Structure 1
Amino acid sequence: MDTSKILLIAVVLTACSVIFQVIGLALPNWIHADVPPSKLYSGLWKACLEVEGRDSTCKDLTNPTDWLKAVRVMSILGLLALLVSSIAVALKQFIMKEQKPILFVAIAAAFAGAVFILISIAVYAAKINDINTGEIFKFHFAFAFCILAMLEGLGGGVLMLIEMMK
């Protein structure tokens, strides 16, 4: 039996979405502020300060606000859902080729993961924009990686839907 190229692309997209979400969650680079002579980087778990001529120092965000806790939870749920989708579509493509229900699981998990990540991105952006009255903070690369993870999860879900309708 021949393997579906559409599902193969969906496997790659969902796997990349998991990798991008892990990068986005792990790194303290969701926002960046450059106020000479110092730079501030912050993410979901840590904030780092880099002063010119000194080593950078990072501190854990130990008492996060409720909205930051919600962003963390939604981001982690998005990661877990994308991981389930990635595993399910890989199983469908390579091992359980005749099992249609596994594709339903993969599709649902891909779209759920994208929605969870969308919620986390929207809440974080809204709250940072409320705080950022002087236009000091700019969104940075880890934030962009989470957006990419969401878009790749959506793309993988759409490709799986197309495959299911064949």
Structure 2
Amino acid sequence: MWRRHDETSPDIVEKYKWKSGEKLTISTCVKCYHTAIQRGPYCDFNTSDKSRTPETELPTVPEYFGFRSEEARIIANKNILSSWSSLTVFALSSSLIRPTRLVPSRSNMGFNPVLLGGVVALGLGNMFHIIGLATPEWIKVGKVTVGLFEGCLDDDCVTIEDKPDWLKACQAMAILGMLLGLMAVALATFMFVKSLKNNDSPKSLGLLTLLAAILSLIFILICVILYAVEIKDLHTGPDFGYSFALSIVGAILILLGGTLSLGGSR
């Protein structure tokens, strides 16, 4: 520990002079008990004293200030004690202060683009599937278009009354797929809103969202495959319409959204 002293000592003036002044202010750095005076840019030693030169030998602390050895030792001990006390207080205060994180953690980032992508994909997937479910153009045979619930000739549409079992199964699978897709988009939206408030989105919610998306995909695909197989057996050469395609695209987007939601959960 170094400590600066500013003192005047008349008996020192006789040996050591300032270069540019008659008044001598002794600026020194004292280390522990009896360190030599640090010679810096402050003063110039008068070399008339041939017994010691400023470059090779400097006066000791007690000799420089005119102290007896015991006095110098007591003062040095006080200085050391004071320095250690200050250092201890600083260390204790530093340990009580929690350091500020310079790099924000992932949980404090707020906006989560991965979760947003999941919400968008799930929303689009559900929208496409609902449009496909509601519109009467799963197949086209000439001017006739048929969906899951009604058939149309030009602009005249009628509800399908006599439903075979396979069509009832398709309707049930499509509706279950829609409900599970809506559940997935609701969970993903909840996680995204929570992330905007700088809160973590539990991994369990992400897993639940993905599970709902997978089940939605499975039910929609069962409906699509069953419908395609049965229609091929009933009619030769029907063309599949946009409603059929929208349900397939919707199922794929729902699965993608569920995967992104799991990836965006923390």
TM interval, short-chain normalised: 0.7 to 0.9
Aligned counterpart for 2:248 among listed residues 147, 150, 165? 147
| Correspondence for 1:46 | 150
Q: Equivalent residue for 2:190?
A: 91
> 2:207 corresponds to which residue?
104
The whole-number CA distance in structure 1 between the counterparts of 2:192 and 2:258 is 14
Q: Does 1:116 align with 2:215?
A: no
Pick from 38, 57, 65: which aligns with 2:156? 57
Alignment of 1:21-40 (within 5 A): 21-34=129-142, 39-40=143-144
SS in 1 for 2:152: strand
Q: Secondary structure at the match of 1:47?
A: strand
Deviation at 1:160, TM superposition (A): 2.5
Q: Which amino acid aligns with 1:118?
A: L
The residue aligned with 2:31 is none
* Structure with the bigger percentage of helix: 1
CA distances 1:104-155 after superposition (whole Å, capped 9, x unpaired): 221111111111101100100111111123x1x1000011110111010111
Q: Report 1 or 2 for greater relative contact order, CA contacts < 8 Å, sequence distance ≥ 6.
A: 1
2:114 paired residue number: 6
User: 5+ unaligned residues in a row in structure 1: which ranges?
Assistant: 51-55
CA distance in structure 1 between the partners assigned to 2:262 and 2:228 by the alignment: 30
1:99 to partner: Cα distance: 4.2
**Equivalence for 1:53:** none
Find the counterpart in structure 1 of residue 14 from structure 2. none
1:69 equivalent to 2:176? Answer no
Aligned residues: 154
Deviation by residue 1:77-112 (Cα, 9 ceiling, x = unmatched): 000000000000000111374241322221111111
Residue 161 (1) aligns with residue 265 (2): no
CA contact (8 A) 2:210 2:255 kept: no
Q: Indicate which of 126, 137, 140 corresponds to 1:18.
A: 126
Give CA-to-partner distance per residue, 1:39-91, whole Å, 9 cap, x none.
001001100112xxxxx321100121000000000000000000000000000
Stretches of structure 2 that go unaligned for 5 or more consecutive residues are 1-107
- How far apart are the structure 2 equivalents of 1:65 and 1:152? 30
Q: What is the TM-score with the length of structure 2 in the denominator?
A: 0.55
Quote the offset at 1:156 in angstroms: 1.0
Distance 1:64 1:3 in 2: 48
Query: Aligned partners of 1:98 and 1:64: how far apart in 2?
Result: 48
TM-score by length of 1: 0.87
Which runs of 4 or more aligned residues in structure 1 lie more than 3 Å from their structure 2 counterparts after TM superposition? none
User: Are the aligned partners of 2:119 and 2:261 in contact in 1 as well (CA < 8 Å)?
Assistant: no
Find the aligned partners of 1:132 and 1:6 in 2 and give their Cα distance: 44
Moved more, 106-115 or 94-103: 94-103
Residues 14-40 of structure 1: CA distance to partner in whole angstroms, max 9, x if unpaired?
A: 011111111011100111112xxxx00
